[in-house]
Each structure stands twice: as structure tokens, then as C-alpha cells.
Structure 1
Amino acid sequence: MTMAFPSSRLAPVLAAAALLAACSADKPDLAEEEAAASVPGAPPGGASDLRARRAAASDVRQSDDLVEFAYAYPRDAAVIPRLAEWLDNDRETRRDALLAASRRDQTAAEKAGFPYRRHSHLQKWQIVTNTPRFLSLSAEIETYKGGAHGMTSFATVLWDRNRARQLQPLDLFTSGEAFDAAIREPFCAGIKRAKAAKGIVAEEAPDSPFAGCPPASAQTVWLGSSDGRYLDRMTIAIAPYEIGPFAEGSYRINVPVTSAVAGAVKDAFQRDFLPID
């Protein structure tokens, strides 16, 4: 038996059905959206993938009479939950340290009758390379603590997607000594060229604090790639005072990944390097 509805009663029913269909089309099913979300480095599937996919680059700033603080990292790092968590913790640790030191120095300056000079910490993480396995990040850090001048330092982070863990570049090598031996010749030659480009003759006097060539493993190492697949080059970042007086500034020495360098790599990472010679 077919029941007929008056057109006056049927119209609202059809309108409601059409509205419900439109809403369903505009808003995909959450389960389907979560299943489609897939971010390298994040746990597979579920809401965590969805949150990671929606993550944005981070740029936190604070500027007042006490401090100037800035800490940023790119979206490529933000979409990896464990790496983003480490970066957020690092940011808060550095900001807390800056605030504590600034308040202490401000109080001391007031007691001594001296003007307080605002302290600062400015740090921005940037992508060195992003291969299928590794996300390599570099950071240049500018700090000021009220003295005659500020200071530059560097940081490095390497995220291993295969192992879902954070590494330091030297973790990929059998030892710091093996790394230094493999890289020493091109690294030291690069320092001489960089100094010459600034019109500076490298110190040779044995009693000079800046004579000779320091171990590359004691500096900041940034691993890079020219093809986006294999690690085949690196930069050694050297802060002021390491190989010259403050006036010389910092240095960035580019060094290729040679067969000697690749030979010092641990077996577990051999396939990720591509020597250029």
C-alpha cells in the first residue's frame, strides 16, 4: 500500500533531506580523512596523522623591555610529532634560561645603578635537505647578554624517518676520530680559502691560539644533498673565536662527501651516502 503525502507536507521533508546531503558533501567523513592522512615520521593512521598533516610552521616571538626572543622551525619539522615536540621543548628551555638570566642581570644592574641592556636569543631552524630518509635542519643562533657585543653559534638536527628518531650528524659515523681523519684535508684547505677570501692569512705560529686546523667533529656539521636522495655534501659551521678573533666572524666550510668520508660511515647508513669521487 502506497501512502500519499500532501505536497505541503512533502516539501519540508525533501528540503531537509537535500540540506543533509549538502552538509555531508561539504564535510568529509572524519574516519576517511584520518585514513587518508599520512605523514612521514608520524605514527601511521588515526587522529595523530591528521593533526600532523594539519601542522603549520612554528614562529614564536617575545619582545619587551626585558628580552627579545624568537624561535622558528619549518612545517617539514612540524609535521613530525616527535621532532616537533623536541623543538618545542628546546624552545621553552632556551626561553626560560633567557628570562632567568635577564631578570638576574636586570636586578643586578638596578642595584649597581647601571642601565640594563635587553638580552636576546634569536634562533631559526632551516632545511638543509629533505631526502626520503632524512630531514636535515640547521640553525644559526644570535644571542646578546648585555656585553660589548652579541654572539653567533650554530645547531644541527637530523631526523631519521626509517628509525623514527632524532640523530646528530656524527651519529652516522663510526667515530669522531674516523670522521676527522676522513675530512681533515678538504676541511683544512677550505678554512685557508675562506680566510684568504677575507684577506686573512691563516695563523701558523705555534704559540697562537688560532694556529692549525681544529677537529671538524668539534664544530657544527650540517649534512646536505644535491639530488634530494643521497647525502653527498656537508657544511662545517664554525663560530667566532674558534679559528680566529671575534672580528673575523663565523665561517661555513663546504666539504664534499668523498670516498674517504663515506668509508667512515656506519654500515647501517652506507646506502644513504653517495661519494662524489
Structure 2
Amino acid sequence: MRRMVTVLAAVASLTGCELLGSGGDADSGTATPTPTPTVSESPIAAPSPTGAQHVAEETELYLFEYAWPEAAGKQPELAALLDQRMDHTKEQLVRESTAARASARQDGFPYNKHSYSADWKVVTELPGWLSLSSQVATYSGGAHGMYGVDALLWNKVDKTAMSGIDLFTSPADLEKAVHDRFCDQLNKQREKKRGEPIAADSTDEFDKCPGIDELVVLVGSSNRKVFNRLTFYAGPYVAGPYVEGAYEVDLPVDAAVLATVKPEYQGFFAARN
């Protein structure tokens, strides 16, 4: 169960920009507002002239929403990529919803409408980079829906999509560089939610410090000149039970992190005091 949100985010390839990549930085909450959605059963419309996109479509089978901000729409290749992802995700939702309704009818059960939503926001924008995060929420007829986060780093020069982890020599190197700081901050958040400290010798699954392969990594900036902050997102079941919700840890870039940045990207990073 702890890997469910990681899988959810991968299929899409807390809340919005205020949650992800905020941490009190100057670029907190700077995402460009998306237009008011239009709800219909017609095919998804082309992106709006502003570059922003927000589509909402509801039928008897499903509810589908997908949005991205103006900053993403201004990058034609990125907008095309997001448009492809949107179409692919909707097609998958239609297939799964159709099969689920047929199965429910065959078994004599009511069908609960499936849903999928993804709302991309700007984490930060540098001269050559655009860092985005997306709040993803799904419902497929169970006791409750699931939610998570997807991340995308756009290289404006090469016009390619990357993940934040691609900037580092390896996931293992980055994990080693941030492990102690990340786990310490995570346990402080757990203690606040649970009302008691985490025992150092605990063997409980939800007391362990998750590995970086279970987290979503976002790169952020306080000055919009260089990357100097990392955000680590642990969705439901990753660092605690569903009832605790997601965890999010913001860490400033330090010397240990800088040492793990690939040589070709060193110039885009700086330690934050």
C-alpha cells in the first residue's frame, strides 16, 4: 500500500503550489490562475489563447478534469506534451469506467462514477527552467479515492521534460545527502500529527523513514535565479496511514546536496543559507 501514490503519479505522466514547493519562499503561491472550467460531454477543446488550459468533462461514466497554467502553455512543446498526457489519461479513464460499469451491472451492483483530476501548478520558473507540480486525485469505486502528486521539470533550452531526480548523479546519492535532515523533519511532522514522538527503535511500517524511490522530488527556488530548495512529498500510505494524509518536507540545498548534482547542472544550483 505504501507505493500506491508513487504508482498513481507515474500513471499521470498537497494542495497545489501553496503546498508543494512553498516553504515560505518568494515564489510560493505564484502559480498562474487557470480559467474557469467548462463542463460538457463534448470532446476536449483546444488550449485557450492565453496558454492556460482547464477542462472539466462529466458524463454518466466519469468525471474528468485536467489543467495547466499559462507558464506551461507558453512553451509550445510542453503544452503539446501535456495535451498528449491529458488525452491518454482520459482514454484510460473511459476504458476503465466502461469496464467497471459493465461489471457492476453484471453483478447486480450500482455503479459509482469514476473520476480523475490533475491540476498542474508552477513550483518555480528560472530563465531556462520551468518546475511544475500536479495534484492528482482519482476515484475508482472503492471506499475512498486516492490522491498524490506528479512532478515535471521542463528544460526550456533543450525543450525536454525531466524529473527533478534527473539533475543528480543518482537517487541513492541524493538520498544519502538528505537522509538525516529529511527523516528528522518528517518525524517532527509525524509527532505533531500523532501527539507523541517516534521511537528510534520502532519497527512499525509507518514509523520508518521512506526511501527516495517512494517520494516525489520537486526542485524549487527562493530567488527564481537558481535552484536552492528541494521538496520531498510522501503521499498517503508512504509515511503514515491514510488518515494522516500526505507529508511534505522542504529542505534548503546545502553543500552535501550540491555535491550530488550532475556536473552539467551545477551552474543552476546554489546553497541556501
- Normalised to the residue count of structure 2, the TM-score between the two structures is 0.79
Task: Report the Cα distance in structure 2 between the residues aligned to 1:179 and 1:205, rounded to whole angstroms.
Answer: 25
Distance in 2, matches of 1:242 and 1:176, equals: 17
**Alignment correspondent of 1:229:** 225
Out of 208-217 and 244-253, give the one that drifted further: 208-217
2:214 and 2:203 map into 1 onto residues whose CA distance is 21
**Distance change in 2, residues 1:217/1:260 (3 Å):** farther
Displacement of 1:113 in angstroms is 1.0
Counterpart position of 2:39: none
Q: SS of the residue aligned with 2:93?
A: helix
Per residue, is there more helix in 1 or in 2? 1
Does the residue aligned with 1:234 lie in a helix, a strand or coil?
strand
One-letter amino acid matched to 1:126: K
Identity of aligned residues (%): 32
CA contact (8 A) 1:262 1:273 kept: yes
Q: Does 1:190 pair with 2:185?
A: yes
In the alignment, residue 72 of structure 1 is paired with which amino acid?
A: A
Q: Return the offset for 1:103.
A: 0.7
The match for 2:163 is 168
Match of 1:72 in 2: 67
Letter in 2 for 1:266: K
| Residues 1:254 and 2:250 aligned together | yes
* Contact residue 214 and residue 234 of structure 2 kept, 8 A: no
State the AA in 1 paired with 2:87.
Answer: E
Match of 1:131 in 2: 126
Choose from 225, 238, 246 the match for 2:234.
238
Question: After superposition, what is the alpha-carbon deviation per residue over 1:43-96, rounded to whole angstroms, capped at 9, x for unaligned?
Answer: xxxxxxxxx995520111111221111000011111111111111111111111
Cα distance in 1 between the residues matched to 2:162 and 2:57:
29
Q: What is the alpha-carbon distance in structure 2 between the residues aligned to residue 130 and residue 169 of structure 1?
A: 14
Larger-Rg structure: 1
Alignment of 1:270 with 2:266, yes or no, is: yes
Structure 2 portions without partners, runs of 5+ = 1-46
Q: Deviations over 1:172-215 (max 9, x none)?
A: 00011111011111111111121122135436565422232112
Structure 2: how far apart are the matches of 1:205 and 1:117?
Answer: 43
Pairing partner for 1:113 from 105, 108, 111: 108
Deviation digits for residues 238-261 of structure 1, max 9, x if unmatched? 110111111111111111111111
Instruction: Give yes or no for contact 1:118–1:146 (8 Å, CA) kept in 2.
Output: yes
CA distance in 2, matches of 1:204, 1:241: 20
Structure 1 residues 93, 203: CA separation in 2 closer, same or farther (over 3 Å shift)?
farther
Once the two structures are TM-superposed, the CA of residue 160 in structure 1 deviates from its matched residue by 1.0
Instruction: Give the distance between the partners of 2:177 and 2:167, measured in 1 at CA.
Output: 14
Which residue matches 2:204? 208
The 5 Å alignment of 1:47-62 reads 55-62=50-57
Partner SS state of residue 104, structure 2? helix
- Between the aligned partners of 1:187 and 1:170, the Cα distance in structure 2 is 16
Aligned to 2:135: 140
Give the 3-state SS of the residue equivalent to 1:162 in structure 2: coil
Cα-Cα RMSD: 1.8
1:92 maps to 2:83? no
Q: Which has the higher contact order (CA 8 A, sep 6+)?
A: 2
User: Does the 8 Å CA contact 1:183/1:216 hold for their aligned counterparts?
Assistant: no
Contact preservation (8 Å) 2:230, 2:251: yes
Q: For residues 88 and 178 of structure 2, what CA distance do their matches in structure 1 show? A: 33
Q: Which of the residues 176, 179, 195 maps onto 2:174?
A: 179
Q: Structure 1: any 5+ residue segments left out of the alignment?
A: 1-51
Return the alpha-carbon distance in structure 2 between the equivalents of residues 228 and 134 of structure 1: 10
| CA distance 1:151–1:203, shift in 2 (3 Å) | farther
